[in-house]
Amino acid sequence: MATVETKNIRKVFQEHTAVDGVDLQTREGEFLVLLGPSGCGKTTLLRMIAGLERQTSGDILIGGRVVNEMPPRERKIAMVFQSYALYPHMTVAKNIAFPLKAQGAEPKTIDARVKTAASMFGIERLLQRKPRQLSGGERQRVALARAMVREPDVFLLDEPLSNLDAKLRHMARDELQQFQRRLKTTTVYVTHDQVEAMGLGDRIAVMSAGKVRQLGRPQEVYDDPADTFVAGFLGSPPMQFFENDGALVGFRAENLLPKAVYSSNEPLVSFWYRVTRVEDLGADRLLYGSLRDLAPDTKMIVNLPSTIHVPLTPGEAYEFACKVNDLKFFDPKTGLRIPSRPLRGKA
């Protein structure tokens, strides 16, 4: 068990700054997700933690020790790559055994631990196969088995699910989480997929342009984005903004509901919403339209759960409302959150 800590880590490739002063600290046994669009520096950060890339400046600590000068093998980490990076010329058994052999473990121990690892991932019957004879899901399990077999202090996972098809990905996500909960090994997980991040992470670090924009529990990051980037990156559709009185006001599509739905004792803000189109998706209804009085020119989407049966006709305006707390205010120049304030103008 160990924590991972980065102190003001920077990585500069020639002209381009990939990671720009990141301070992060995991907790014991935590599942920390690095989330961000491609090119945001998350993979570089992970590779620096692994020791595959040398940071330009700053310190990396694993289990409280500074590991800057240590090669990967001394950092007590295991890594799963996006491509799985299985050794194509070795059988599954040899792939899993490789880290143990490199440690110089006894053949007996190796055997036993390979078996344990294989059974943990249900791949015992694949042990004598070569990687090219496996499906994508099977390869991913072998990669995980190879990573956990020598019981590292930290798991580093680089988009391990992105090569799986959508159906498999759901299951794999679930397995992955169960497995991590069971082992309680500190895990740093890189992904660009917010659903994965929300579903897996104890905490999420949202990254952009080499910086961590926000670190927090999934719900925190979702509900209380620190800036417009985080707000706009998470959620489907992402948070929507309109200008009001020199501030950017954001809300999520699912937070705006017909006023009639709310019980009367909640503090609400209400809007007139003009519906232009209705999309019935079964579980939800997506409404396209705009805030008639506050921002008539900005398209806004509203997501109504199908449990709300209010009839809505395109072309008509209705009175919608959201809780006061669901409106988030941002500085339009810096994009940073600012304290809530009353809306101005006629709602």
Q: Summarize as ranges the residues that interact with another protein (CB under 8 A).
A: 47, 50-52, 71-73, 77-79, 81-83, 85-89, 98-99, 101-103, 132, 146, 150
Pick between residue 106 and residue 297 the one whose CB is nearest to another protein: 106
| Least Cβ distance, residue 101 to another protein (angstroms) | 8
| Least Cβ distance, residue 154 to another protein (angstroms) | 11
Structure-block tokens of residue 141: 């399990």
- Contact between 248 and 295 under an 8 Å Cβ cutoff? The reply is no
| Least Cβ distance, residue 92 to another protein (angstroms) | 14
- Check whether the bond before 237 is cis (ω within 30° of 0): yes
Pick between residue 86 and residue 321 the one whose CB is nearest to another protein: 86
| Least Cβ distance, residue 209 to another protein (angstroms) | 24
| Least Cβ distance, residue 44 to another protein (angstroms) | 13
| Least Cβ distance, residue 146 to another protein (angstroms) | 7
Pick between residue 105 and residue 301 the one whose CB is nearest to another protein: 105
Pick between residue 139 and residue 285 the one whose CB is nearest to another protein: 139
| Least Cβ distance, residue 31 to another protein (angstroms) | 19
| Least Cβ distance, residue 52 to another protein (angstroms) | 5
The secondary structure of 147-175 as a DSSP string is HHTT--SEEEEESTTTTS-HHHHHHHHHH
- Beta pairing, strands 65-66 & 257-258: unpaired
- Beta pairing, strands 317-323 & 268-280: antiparallel
Pick between residue 13 and residue 87 the one whose CB is nearest to another protein: 87
Burial (CB < 10 A; 0-12, 13-18, 19+), residue 178, is exposed
| Least Cβ distance, residue 103 to another protein (angstroms) | 6
Pick between residue 99 and residue 137 the one whose CB is nearest to another protein: 99
CA distances from 292 to 256, 274, 322, 324 (A): 14, 6, 15, 19
How far apart CA 281 and CA 262 sit, in angstroms, is: 23
- Contact between 92 and 139 under an 8 Å Cβ cutoff? The reply is no
Q: What is the dihedral of CA 224, 228, 234, 240, to 10 degrees?
A: 100
How far apart CA 57 and CA 105 sit, in angstroms, is: 35
The secondary structure of 256-274 as a DSSP string is -EEGGGS-TTS-EEEEEEE
Question: How remote is the C-alpha of 298 from its chain's centroid?
Answer: 29
Residues 6 or more apart whose Cβ sits within 8 Å of residue 293: 271, 272, 345, 346, 347
Pick between residue 21 and residue 39 the one whose CB is nearest to another protein: 39
- Contact between 214 and 200 under an 8 Å Cβ cutoff? The reply is no
Pick between residue 98 and residue 330 the one whose CB is nearest to another protein: 98
Pick between residue 68 and residue 82 the one whose CB is nearest to another protein: 82
